[in-house]
Structure 1
Amino acid sequence: MLKTQIRTSTINNLLEKSAQKNYGKYLSKLIIKKVRGFTDQPVAFDFPVTAIIGPNGGGKTTVLGAAACAYKDVTPRRFFAKSGIYDESMLDWSIEYEIVDRALNPKDSIRRTANFKNRRWNRDAPDRKVLMFGVSRTVPANERAELLKCARGDFKVPVDQISAFPDTVREAVGRILGKDVTGYKSMRIQNSGRIQLLTGVTLKGLGYSEFHFGAGESSIIRMIAEIESADDQALILIEEIENGLHPVATIRVVEYLIEAAERKRVQVIFTTHSNEALMPLPSKAIWVATQDRIFQGKLDVGSLRAITGQIAKQAAIFVEDELSKAWVEAAIRQRNLTLIDHVEVHSMQGDGIAVATHKYHNTNPAISIPSICFIDGDSREHDDASKRIFRLPGEMPESYIFDSVLNVWDKFGRKLSVALLREFDQLGAVKKICEDVRRENMDPHLLFVQIGERLGLLPEETVRMAFCTIWAQAFPQEADKIVSAVSSSLKGRTT
């Protein structure tokens, strides 16, 4: 399983810095009062690296463009161009901002507005360096018109226009791409330096030009070099950050951006369809755009279809996390197997985002299928059967499931051992491991991880599903309550 290398302490320090507005320049918040499908939708930048996710056409680029328009460095038409009489919907578009700019106000935030009236954008935008990396950054060198002059047999660049990359660039690119880029260089094609061609070197020392780079390799080198040469406290905007990248490289790019946010105090906002891009980020750093609403919170990108009703099932079920997902699915599978074909269960990674998404789903007139929400026993959200928000049994889910299953060991211990991929004759050893882990455990969220480690590095998902399945078999009445909540919401819909 892919993992991030960012420390929790780094995340917490940056969260605190954002909360205290400890920056010289920082975009703290924007409110899309009216732009495209959004009305009165706030986006708070509680972390200096922010991901905007959502389905195609959901409004990710709208949010990115709204952020860009906060500053003089970007013209609004870069994102919101008007095409004659064909864009009359732009009438009265407006975006409000809360901005930190210590040069303008040393003690407090300033407020600004960008609006489209009388067929033009009006704004009093402060200065700040903004770097824009659009999807065109991954266009291969041989398809870029400005580099075609370099694709000649007699092409040559003076030595004084060729430069090696600084150590910070080489180290960052090396970590992201997983290769040594010590011999890589940049050639200025024009004296202004606006057009450049990259060169690399093989393991045998043979040189080659950017025309033989991978698109992702080229875009990463250029992007990192530009970020490193930019002023501190710049705003960096990136469209579809995963374009041209392997999943591991995508994680490493986001890790680099977090490190750059800490070291150079830059702020980054990017759009993505990639779960890997979200992995290093805290929940507060992720916003979901869904055509007319914007939610804060981490979720699986695969859930986006369910949020907008784009699933071929009779209902969507939103739960807090992967454990709740396994738990609900196990209850349905064990107690009403036919029902499993009519629903999709989606982990939303937080009770707030699960409830908010569920409420949006059921109040959106464009979505015809219902949704159901299950919150954990320790959630501060309110359960309400009339709104199809149900509470799972117990307090701490991991503890409740774990302890419940151990309490029926005499009857179900053999089944659990087999589900944990052990032989019948290892029943006693498995029980001892479970008891030892429970006695030594200090964080119930890690119970299934620790069991897996003691059982020969068994994946957490396998342990989790084993316990949830045995729980559903051992406690049919409790499992039936979960299934009943689902089936009652689907009356007349299943076939």
Structure 2
Amino acid sequence: MAGYKSEIRHSDITALEDKVTRGSYHKYLKRLTLKKVRGFRDREVSFDFPVTALIGPNGGGKTTILGAAGLIYADVPPRRFFAKSGKYDSSMKDWSVEYELIDRDLNRRISVARVASFKQAKWNRTAVDRQVLIFGVERTVPATERRDLTQAVGSSFVAASEVALTSAVATHVAAILGKPIEGYNRLTVDKAGRITIFAGQTPGGDEYSEFHFGAGEASIIRIVSAVEEASDGTMILIEEIENGLHPVATRRVVEYLIDVAARKSCQVIFTTHSNDALAPLPARAIWAAYSGEVLQGKLDIAALRTIAGQIDAKLAIFVEDSFAELMVTSSLRAIGNVEIDAVKVHAMGGAGPAIRVNEQHNIDPTSTFPSVCLLDGDQAESAEAKERVFLLPGATLPESHVFSRVLDRIDIVAAKLTAAMQLPLNRQETVKEVVRRRDLINRDRHVIWEQIGEDLDFTAGFIVASAFLAVWAQEYPEEVETLVGQFGDLVPRR
């Protein structure tokens, strides 16, 4: 996700978050509580953004939450996600899910409460009417492997009907796939209209069927066609959204779904193993499921693997953001004799997620290595050595602290800083001038590295931040020692 710039504007994200907060929907699932379902007990998931990503290890519970979200709606048969196989599924006894939802057809003023429970060998629910689209992993099965398409094989096949993709569908699909979509049709295979297949055209005008599509191409056409035809307020459930897609296409399809949420007031929930699918989303739109736990926040997949104990490590460090992650990594390298590869540092998208994950990791009896949490200086009230929660240097943001420290010695360290930013040494005076000017006009230290980089021949913000950290570590070794010393007994040494 580093360096990725979404085409969705921040104002659009904020507007959608505000719409959820105000409850300005005709139909919307606000939250569900997994009272008892599979490995979950009394775990709540809130839907604070209309497009929600569910991440987690295999078997962690992503599909359980996805299925539970749809279970309260009449369009979704319970067996789609929670089938019972006779005596072999006796564990389903007393499963239940509680819901808080908006449905203006049922109550125009307040939220509606509902429960779905598994009693006496069947699901009991007062199902609510709402259109629900489900796109399972079977959507990416190649056409040549689909048994229902055998009647479309052969030179004598003629479709029962042909319908051209609308211009809107073609435009959205083209934007996602990054290629023109012209002359594409949806073909009805059977007279009842239940089985369909797509056909396209080469730039030269030659026709070809879905038997010669890429799995991802067919999947996107199918999803976009159905979504554009759906009613406003529809719920859309997608399993493993990245299946068959290039990383860029994965990001674009999530951006398309955010646009759908804005245009059509739809609600989207999808599962994924891809960081690219998370890139366009705000932190509140992402939930991790693992080992019977749920956690809201912008985790990446590597962090989740650490939390779930799926990697070899000797220490995990959870911090608030990417700069803190870079600061801790730089400090460990500066200390020397640290087994760097055995330490996993992860940005958690805020103090709350960092604290909660650290707590859960350290009380988990299956954890094979310890963890610590390092918070920004403005979180001093949350520091607790007994809980392995410590602070980064400075009283506020670590960005502010590092910038100020380097600025204090800018005349002395200008050459080091210039070289570290991969600039010619004869640019030292320019570097000093830029740093001092930005100190005066910058209003948000979170973005100061990018601003300095723009002033210096568009040097990448990551390079600028790394340069400042390298100089800070060299000039203030006592601060590095103090930082690492808070948990020094846990740091693996060579």
Normalising TM by the smaller chain, what interval? over 0.9
The CA deviation string for residues 38-69 of structure 1, in whole angstroms up to 9 with x for no partner, is: 11100000111100011111110111011011
The CA deviation string for residues 179-221 of structure 1, in whole angstroms up to 9 with x for no partner, is: 1112111111123322111111111111111111110000000
Which residue is 1:103 aligned to?
Answer: 105
Cα deviation, residue 378, structure 1? 2.4
Cα deviation, residue 339, structure 1? 4.0
CA distance in 1, matches of 2:71, 2:275: 27
**1:175-190 alignment, distance < 5 Å:** 175-190=175-190
TM-score (norm 2): 0.97
Q: Output the amino acid matched with 1:343.
A: V
Equivalent in 3, 10, 28 of residue 30 of structure 2: 28
**1:441-480 alignment, distance < 5 Å:** 441-480=442-481
CA distance in 2, matches of 1:262, 1:286: 18
The answer to whether the Cα contact below 8 Å between 1:319 and 1:348 also exists between their aligned partners in 2 is: yes
Which residue is 1:221 aligned to?
Answer: 221
Secondary structure of the equivalent of 2:271?
strand
Change over 3 Å in CA distance of 1:419–1:337 after alignment to 2: farther
Secondary structure of the equivalent of 1:299?
coil
CA distance in 2, matches of 1:485, 1:310: 26
Which residue is 1:112 aligned to?
Answer: 114
Equivalent in 50, 53, 59 of residue 52 of structure 2: 50
CA distance in 2, matches of 1:328, 1:308: 22
Q: Which segments of 5 or more consecutive residues in structure 1 lack a partner in the other structure?
A: none
Q: Which stretch of the first structure deviates more once superposed, 212-221 or 381-390?
A: 381-390
Secondary structure of the equivalent of 1:338?
coil
Which residue is 1:298 aligned to?
Answer: 298
CA distance in 2, matches of 1:299, 1:411: 39
**1:37-186 alignment, distance < 5 Å:** 37-157=39-159, 161-186=161-186
Which residue is 1:347 aligned to?
Answer: 347
**1:376-387 alignment, distance < 5 Å:** 376-379=376-379, 382-387=382-387
Q: Output the amino acid matched with 2:411.
A: D
Which residue is 2:429 aligned to?
Answer: 428
Q: Output the amino acid matched with 2:230.
A: A
Following TM superposition, where does structure 1 have runs of at least 4 consecutive aligned residues deviating by more than 6 angstroms?
none
**1:178-327 alignment, distance < 5 Å:** 178-327=178-327
Secondary structure of the equivalent of 1:153?
coil
Cα deviation, residue 381, structure 1? 6.2
Cα deviation, residue 245, structure 1? 0.6
CA distance in 2, matches of 1:61, 1:272: 10
The answer to whether the Cα contact below 8 Å between 1:2 and 1:248 also exists between their aligned partners in 2 is: no
Secondary structure of the equivalent of 2:418?
helix
Secondary structure of the equivalent of 1:224?
helix
Q: Output the amino acid matched with 1:484.
A: G
Instruction: Provide the aligned length of Structure 1 versus Structure 2.
Output: 491
The answer to whether the Cα contact below 8 Å between 1:336 and 1:483 also exists between their aligned partners in 2 is: no
The CA deviation string for residues 395-420 of structure 1, in whole angstroms up to 9 with x for no partner, is: 12222111111212233222111110
CA distance in 2, matches of 1:145, 1:341: 48
Q: Which stretch of the first structure deviates more once superposed, 406-415 or 125-134?
A: 406-415
What is the root-mean-square deviation in Å for CA atoms of aligned residues? Answer: 1.4
The CA deviation string for residues 142-190 of structure 1, in whole angstroms up to 9 with x for no partner, is: 11111121120111235xx111111221111011011111211111112
The answer to whether the Cα contact below 8 Å between 2:151 and 2:189 also exists between their aligned partners in 1 is: no
Change over 3 Å in CA distance of 1:202–1:151 after alignment to 2: same
In percent, how many aligned pairs have the same letter?
49
Secondary structure of the equivalent of 1:108?
coil
CA distance in 1, matches of 2:337, 2:72: 53
CA distance in 1, matches of 2:133, 2:178: 25
Q: Which stretch of the first structure deviates more once superposed, 185-194 or 313-322?
A: 185-194
Secondary structure of the equivalent of 1:365?
coil
Q: Output the amino acid matched with 1:299.
A: L
CA distance in 2, matches of 1:17, 1:362: 37
The answer to whether the Cα contact below 8 Å between 2:72 and 2:128 also exists between their aligned partners in 1 is: yes
Q: Output the amino acid matched with 1:421.
A: Q
Secondary structure of the equivalent of 2:148?
helix
Change over 3 Å in CA distance of 1:381–1:130 after alignment to 2: farther
The answer to whether the Cα contact below 8 Å between 1:342 and 1:494 also exists between their aligned partners in 2 is: no
CA distance in 1, matches of 2:342, 2:172: 47
Cα deviation, residue 27, structure 1? 0.5
CA distance in 2, matches of 1:176, 1:19: 29
CA distance in 1, matches of 2:459, 2:60: 38
Cα deviation, residue 380, structure 1? 7.4
Cα deviation, residue 225, structure 1? 0.4
Equivalent in 10, 16, 35 of residue 18 of structure 2: 16
Cα deviation, residue 469, structure 1? 1.6
Secondary structure of the equivalent of 2:8?
coil
Which residue is 1:388 aligned to?
Answer: 388
CA distance in 2, matches of 1:72, 1:306: 38
The answer to whether the Cα contact below 8 Å between 2:233 and 2:267 also exists between their aligned partners in 1 is: yes
Q: Output the amino acid matched with 1:66.
A: A
Cα deviation, residue 87, structure 1? 1.7
CA distance in 1, matches of 2:77, 2:185: 32
CA distance in 2, matches of 1:45, 1:52: 11
Q: Which stretch of the first structure deviates more once superposed, 37-46 or 187-196?
A: 187-196
The answer to whether the Cα contact below 8 Å between 2:393 and 2:483 also exists between their aligned partners in 1 is: no
TM-score (norm 1): 0.96
The CA deviation string for residues 335-384 of structure 1, in whole angstroms up to 9 with x for no partner, is: 13424243111111211111111111111111121100011112376011
